[in-house]
Chain A
């Protein structure tokens, strides 16, 4: 569909003037920076619009985007369930419904950009030259919010910054409670100096920001609070393999979950992925070779398995279609071509039914997705990898599946190892052959070849990732256990 959305107009940066198209400022958290762009693109793809990135530096707390197709915005508005920061189009009353349901857990606030500049002098000059941007808001009761990004602005100067806006002829009243419009001033500082908290240093660098942004707030992310609401700590059922809520939602977002879609986790464990996908409306299916993971300790008639208790807690029990005990490599699925997404965190931490080299597991997972997904369906999975060995070729290349990758990819870095979030899309129109999962091919590793970063991951994890020598014959042929 919107495959072109993965082609980035990357070189655009720091426009000196606000362009004609509405620009939006997204205040994003600094963590998981490599997940940002893919998450935004997934939202765009789900709802069928395109995003242009005006600024997307990984180390910035702000992303400026342009939504350039009015008709797509209209489509969004028509579809109803989605509530993106689309208040921009059809301007009559942009603050009537100041909400954004950007499904981005890393996003805190979305706002419309009125002006940005290198200094306050330039900012105010721009607003005088282009009064039309601010004009509709001047008679509204207002509130100002000033935030330094990578920097804490002394309250006295915050006050001063706000007062300077009087020159634009406000007639509305300041209203701390229930304002009709909220203005946000972001002063954005360089990150590399941010770690100094000494007061003298802070005062010295105060005002030495890189950019100042003046915006009208459109809404706060409703996805961000999910991290708290779905915290494993307060979950009624969880296990030692449960995924932390933030990563679970980041991962779920890549699967484009929505009402009417079916998302499947073949290594469901305690069900972490099911809850986040179901929260965004998808119907979910889970299976695991270890039924105790899904059930919990109890048994007997009337016992409610753990996954259903947690699903109840999150109000999504009816969206859990079923949970089943079986080994996906010996799975009972009758046919392919019916799932919208496969989302999973493959079990590198516990042994599956038989010795199964992760390289093979990964390849088989992609083959399985190729078979069982609908055309355009997505496979989203974590690939644990030893950082220094990782190379892009490690993601299995399978006909009919392609990787959707942004830059160097999304990686959660734990130092000596990391895990990469891989998003793939089924490009084939047919179901193709049912995968055999026979695990019969030895992984071919000769001394000259690149060894995939997840090769023998489990062993290396337990060896604490001591540097790997050239593969000897014993280390390099995991072959079939016969």
Chain B
């Protein structure tokens, strides 16, 4: 269940990969929607931490067109509900997250992304 709020905070961390390492691009996605109760205070507080263009692009890549291009300055309840839906209710259960910079693929299975780097997997 990689949620988009989490996804928005993740970047590729392969050594020396510093260009286009965010946001990671979803592919072969199995998406599950789980409704939950919105906490608008939480959303308002978290907004400044978000990378808005990355969030909008990612939501659209998963078929959700509800977010405006520019981050609103004043939020209506309807917009907050849309933001809640995108951040908290969209769960990527299966699929891949790929780095646009270096091409590294981070697979997601059973909702848990594997972000261990290859060298360490080998090292174990």
Interface set of A (CB-CB < 8 Å, partner B):
259-260, 283, 285, 289, 291, 294-295, 299, 301, 303-305, 308, 318, 321-327, 330-335, 337-338, 353-354
* 20 A-B pairs whose Cβ atoms sit less than 8 Å apart in the complex: A259-B39, A283-B42, A291-B116, A295-B110, A322-B3, A324-B112, A325-B114, A325-B116, A326-B115, A326-B116, A327-B117, A330-B120, A332-B12, A332-B13, A333-B9, A333-B11, A334-B10, A334-B51, A338-B9, A353-B123
Given A260-B41, A322-B2, answer yes or no on A330-B124 (Cβ-Cβ < 8 Å). no
How many angstroms from the CA of A304 to the CA of B51 in the assembled complex? 30
How many angstroms from the CA of A301 to the CA of B10 in the assembled complex? 24
Write out the residue numbers on chain A whose beta carbons fall within 8 Å of the beta carbon of B110. 295, 299, 301, 303-305
How many angstroms from the CA of A338 to the CA of B8 in the assembled complex? 12
Query: Of the candidates A283, A305, A333, A354, which one forms a contact with B112 in the assembled complex, judged by CB atoms under 8 Å apart?
Result: A305
Name the residue of chain A whose CB is nearest to the CB of B40: A260
Beta-carbon contact of A321 and B123 below 8 Å: no
Beta-carbon contact of B120 and A325 below 8 Å: no
CB contacts under 8 Å to A, within B94-118, are 94, 109-117
How many angstroms from the CA of A387 to the CA of B41 in the assembled complex? 44
Q: Smallest CB–CB gap between B18 and chain A, Å?
A: 12
How many angstroms from the CA of A260 to the CA of B43 in the assembled complex? 8
Write out the residue numbers on chain A whose beta carbons fall within 8 Å of the beta carbon of B2. 322
Most chain B CB within a 10 A radius of its CB, from A301, A318, A324, A325? A324
Does B76 lie at the interface of the complex (its beta carbon under 8 Å from any beta carbon of A)? Answer: no
Beta-carbon contact of B9 and A334 below 8 Å: yes
Q: Smallest CB–CB gap between B42 and chain A, Å?
A: 4
How many angstroms from the CA of A318 to the CA of B49 in the assembled complex? 21
Beta-carbon contact of B112 and A325 below 8 Å: yes
Beta-carbon contact of B112 and A295 below 8 Å: yes
CB contacts under 8 Å to A, within B28-75, are 34, 36, 39, 41-42, 45-46, 49, 51
How many angstroms from the CA of A328 to the CA of B9 in the assembled complex? 14
Given contacts A301-B94, A332-B115, A353-B124, 18 further A-B contacts (CB under 8 A): A259-B39, A260-B41, A283-B42, A291-B114, A291-B116, A299-B110, A322-B3, A323-B112, A325-B114, A325-B115, A326-B114, A326-B116, A327-B116, A332-B10, A334-B22, A335-B9, A338-B46, A353-B120
Beta-carbon contact of B123 and A330 below 8 Å: no
Beta-carbon contact of B22 and A308 below 8 Å: no
Write out the residue numbers on chain B whose beta carbons fall within 8 Å of the beta carbon of A294. 112
Given A291-B112, A305-B112, answer yes or no on A330-B36 (Cβ-Cβ < 8 Å). no
Write out the residue numbers on chain B whose beta carbons fall within 8 Å of the beta carbon of A289. 116, 120
